């Protein structure tokens, strides 16, 4: 991925353990012909949301910024 994506998809989350994976997967499933990124704003959830976000960021390091 280039250093300058054309689109940034921002996902804000807090205490959404039951929903965050589906939200991220939904964005990842999109097909485009331009560079894009996912920026996840996670506000120190205590229900496991942060750990899910961290695992996605580790799996997609050039695409997801946490």
Judged against a pLDDT cut of 90, whether residue 5 lies above it is answered with no
Whether residue 60 has pLDDT greater than 80: yes
Question: Which pLDDT tens digit goes with each residue over 19-36?
Answer: 999 999 999 999 999 999
Phi-psi region at 53: left, alpha or beta (left = phi > 0; alpha = psi -120 to 50): alpha
Label residues 3-26 b or e (16+ Cβ within 10 Å = b).
eebeeebebebebbeeebeeebee
- Is the pLDDT confidence value at 54 over 70? yes
Q: What is the reported pTM?
A: 0.89
């Amino acid at each position: 991925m280039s250093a300058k994506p054309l689109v940034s998809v921002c996902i804000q989350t807090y205490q959404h353990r039951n929903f965050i994976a589906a939200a991220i997967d939904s964005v990842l499933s999109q097909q485009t012909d331009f560079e894009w990124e996912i920026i996840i704003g996670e506000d120190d959830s205590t229900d496991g949301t942060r750990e899910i976000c961290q695992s996605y960021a580790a799996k997609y390091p050039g695409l997801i910024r946490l």
